[in-house]
Amino acid sequence: MNKVVIIDDRKERKKLHLSEAAISSLEKLVLSGKLDVMESINDIEEIANYSLIAVHRSYLINSGVYNNLLDFIKKSKKLLIIFSGNISHNMIMNDGRQLNINASDFYIEKLPEFINRFCEENLESPLLQYMYGDSWKLSLLLQYRYLLWIYGDGFDEIDDEEDESLEERIRSILWNGQYVNQQQVCKDIEIEKTKFHYS
């Protein structure tokens, strides 16, 4: 079973964003052994047995464990969520293993359900699912189609590092790294749209 840890040095932060019902659901996850909540850690080894580590950015920086944690994540292939009120742009990084997200987007009502599903199921691209919900594939397809409109099918002319990295990540997640043309992307978009009754 996967296990999740949330490291937040301010207990009251989640109370600013979550309902009492969501907080109660998180407490039940703690009692079930699926979730641990910590205010701090002394050593990276304390979190070595968790599959998903969520940590507040200011704690990471102020405690001096930021670089050690990033190295640990890269070596161990664990998933990392860094949340903070100062993060203005939610972004997936490090080959889809790290999500930087605003605290108000992290502490949302679906957090307990996501943690439970993450622990119980073998979720495909869990951080993308958390960020975009059930329509995560559609969101990626629409981003990819936008890149195709800008750069064309070959992506030979990408001159922006962020766009190039985004194109490679999406292609890796959706098509195992294979190049696809605009016609295939549009077909895949229509398939995903039918799942959500979009027209």
Per-residue pLDDT reduced to its tens digit, 27-61: 999 999 999 999 998 888 899 999 999 999 998 88
| Start-to-end CA span in the chain (Å) | 38
Residue with tokens 């943690």: 115
- Reduced to 3 states (helix: H, G, I; strand: E, B; else coil), residue 181 is coil
Confidence grade of residue 1 (pLDDT, cut at 50, 70, 90): low
Q: How does strand 4-7 pair with strand 35-38?
A: parallel
d(CA 2, CA 41): 20
Question: What is this structure's pTM?
Answer: 0.81
How much is the pLDDT for 150?
A: 76
Q: What's the pLDDT band for 94 if we cut at 50, 70, 90?
A: confident
Return mean pLDDT, the chain: 86
Separation in Å, CA 48 to CA 11, 79, 87, 175: 22, 11, 26, 31
The answer on pLDDT for 101 being more than 80 is: yes
Rounded Cα–Cα distance for residues 7 and 83 (Å): 10
pLDDT of residue 154: 60
Strand partners, 35: 4
What is the model's pLDDT at position 115? 96
Mean pLDDT confidence for 157-161: 69
CA-to-CA dists, residue 127 to 40, 118, 152, angstroms: 23, 10, 28
Q: Which residues pair with 5 in a beta bridge?
A: 36, 53
